[in-house]
A and B are shown apart, each in its own frame.
Chain A
Amino acid sequence: MNELLEFISNNLELIYILILAIFIGVELIKNVPSVLHTPLMSGANALSGVVIVGALLVMLQADPNDYLALGLGFIAVVLGIINVVGGFAVTDRMLQMFKKKK
């Protein structure tokens, strides 16, 4: 319990950011028309690929002789960047179709 309280007081800034970010996320999405739900979901999916940054950090920090860390990191980077590139590209393709006819 004490450890938890200590964690909260040490990370107060973090907790503020967390809560405010949650509210922003909710407010941004709340009033989106349903026509855009699929592209939005796809776009949000691309953003969740930000996990790639963590995968990059794993590889940057790995000892060149630590094959396990390098190997797992390699796969993590590949999967993460597929999520990012594929996600943004596919969202763009979807939105391309919403262009009005001249």
Chain B
Amino acid sequence: MSITLSIIYLISTVTFVIGLKLLGHPETAKRGNIISAVGMILAIIGTILIPEKLENDVIVPIVVPLTNYILIGAALFVGSLIGWLIAMKVEMTKMPELVSLFNGFGGASAMLIGLVEYGNNVGDAMQTSTVIAAIIIGSITFSGSLVAFGKLNGSLNDIRLPKYNLINNILFLGLLAFATYIVMMGGNNALLIYGLLFASLIYGLLFVFPIGGADMPVVISLLNSLTGIAAAITGILYGNMVMLVGGILVGSAGLILTFVMCDAMNRSLSNVIFGAFGGDSSDVGATATGKSGGSIKKTTASDSAILLNYASKVVIVPGYGLAVAQAQHVIHELELLLTEKGVDVSYAIHPVAGRMPGHMNVLLAESNVDYDKLIEMDDINPQFPNTDVVLVVGANDVVNPAAHNDPTSPIYGMPILDVENAKHIIVNKRTMNAGYAGIQNELFFNTKTSMLFGDAKSALTELVSELKNM
């Protein structure tokens, strides 16, 4: 391998590690991202300017025809433009689906590389295995990410075939057997490889379809990790260090992130993948309503405004409803108004508020909410007993006391925000429908709770104008 290219790849790899490291702290995160991006650009430019290929385990320089260079330039230009435009245009509430979509593209790229390379590596069992692994993982990531994308933007619903776990597991084993067969067969059989591609794509669909919408972040993180692994495998195929190390880094980082997210919801990964609760809200919700009994207390914007106006400490609990209604700017206005009136206002951020851990922070930061006002669960929970009013906006499961006192509840044991300890609780929700976990919330029936029904944005706007008149 050319020494120049080796050094370039080495630098890129180091920037990836440093970049990931810096991404872990709020002050350095932006720099970290830029450093990794520079490393990536270096790797891309180096690869193009110093073309080499692996031949009989030795890397040799190659001469590239002009046509190829023109096509590469065109592809890079078109793709960069598309990526840039999507990234700049998308609304911040759409973040999770966007990450999923981009991730799917990465998977598809690995899948296509595998398809092209299959024919070039006939006879070498180890190489064939690598190619096949790239095809399988790449296509599962591709189709799985597209389903996750569709679910997050609401165009796809949960679909569960009867005995889907059994079917999926059998299909997965079948896929492995099929792959082994192709490797054993050797030879170049296009039909077999397209069959494998098709089966992997189907598996990706069936894998993600039954998983509830609330668990999509976990799935995306897992699929992200898989894309990393696919990249690493392709790296082995080309004897390419930057792909190998970069891919593995993303693979292991993504996997850990997946576990951290599961942890925050007090679920195991297998529970997320095979449990499939969280979509079937209709019947579970109905029975739970009966159990909670009690009656709810409705309130109006003006009553809520009075309550907030005379409070000395208010905690806002934002949830996905706030994100969907695009109410992050109004809530900030409300916060400023209350602060002006001498009320101590802070935000309680549950680790899985929104659709992704940290999603709520991104949204609130977008509307200029002060970083110091966002308080994490463990720090805010002891403060609820001396909080006058808690304003829950579009959050449900993360404030459901069933997590503490109902062992039969699917969310039992999940750490929650203990808002029921506050003196008053105002819950803004569109309807009485159950939350994403598909279970009813007894908090709403609490005597201290009043319900402010309506879309988060219009309800909060009304609240703000009432407060202004006071």
Contacts and interface: CB of A to CB of B under 8 A. Distances in A.
A7 B127 CA distance: 11
B460 interface: no
Interface in B247-301: 247-257, 260-261, 264
A94 B362 contact: yes
A83 B362 contact: no
B387 interface: no
Interface string A74-102: 11111111111111111111111110110
A70 B171 CA distance: 32
Contact of B250 (A25, A61, A90): A25
Contacts of B185: none
Contacts of A52: 44, 109
Interface stretch (B13-21, B405-413, B444-452): B13-21
Contacts of B24: 28-29, 31-33, 36, 40
B348 interface: no
Contacts of B115: 72
A33 B29 CA distance: 12
A101 B357 CA distance: 23
A63 B17 CA distance: 35
Contact of B72 (A53, A59, A92, A93): A59
Interface stretch (B198-206, B221-229, B309-317): B221-229
A40 B257 contact: yes
Nearest to B134: A54
Contact of A85 (B33, B84, B261): B84
B117 interface: yes
A50 B242 contact: yes
Nearest to A61: B53
A68 B86 CA distance: 28
B361 interface: yes
Interface stretch (B146-154, B370-378, B418-426): B370-378
Contact of A53 (B43, B92, B251): B43
Given A38-B95, A43-B23, A95-B33, A50 B105 contact: no
Contact of A39 (B105, B117, B254, B362): B362
A56 B48 contact: yes
Interface of chain B, main secondary structure: helix
Nearest to B21: A28
A12 interface: no
A94 B102 CA distance: 15
B231 A54 contact: yes
Contact of A90 (B67, B74, B98): B98
Contacts of B33: 39, 43, 46, 88, 91-92, 95
A98 B8 CA distance: 32
Contacts of B20: 25, 28-29, 40, 43-44, 47
B105 A80 contact: yes
Given A29-B257, A98-B26, A47 B250 contact: yes
B392 interface: no
B324 interface: no
Contacts of A53: 43-44, 47, 235, 238, 240, 242-243
B237 to A, nearest CB: 7
A83 B98 CA distance: 10
B251 A85 contact: no
Contact of A41 (B26, B48, B84, B257): B257
B247 A48 contact: yes
B75 interface: yes
B428 interface: no
Contact of B256 (A17, A26, A64, A68): A26
Contact of A64 (B65, B79, B80, B92): B65
Contacts of A64: 65, 67-68
B17 A24 contact: yes
Contacts of A33: 24, 26, 376
A92 B34 CA distance: 8
Nearest to B232: A18
Nearest to A100: B371
Nearest to A90: B87
B361 A35 contact: yes
Q: Which of A43, A45, A78, A84 has the most CB of B within 10 A?
A: A45
Q: Which 10 A-B pairs have the closest CB atoms?
A: A25-B252, A86-B83, A81-B79, A85-B83, A37-B357, A89-B87, A97-B365, A77-B75, A50-B246, A37-B358
Interface of B: 16-17, 19-21, 23-26, 29-30, 32-34, 36-37, 40, 43-44, 47-48, 51, 53, 62, 64-65, 67-68, 71-72, 74-76, 78-80, 82-84, 86-88, 90, 92, 95-96, 98-99, 102-103, 105-106, 108-110, 112-113, 115-117, 125-126, 217, 220-221, 224, 227-228, 230-232, 234-238, 240-257, 260-261, 264, 349, 351, 356-359, 361-362, 365-366, 368, 370-371, 374, 376
18 contacts: A21-B244, A26-B252, A35-B361, A38-B95, A38-B96, A38-B357, A39-B33, A51-B227, A54-B231, A54-B237, A76-B108, A78-B78, A80-B109, A81-B83, A83-B103, A86-B84, A88-B33, A98-B371
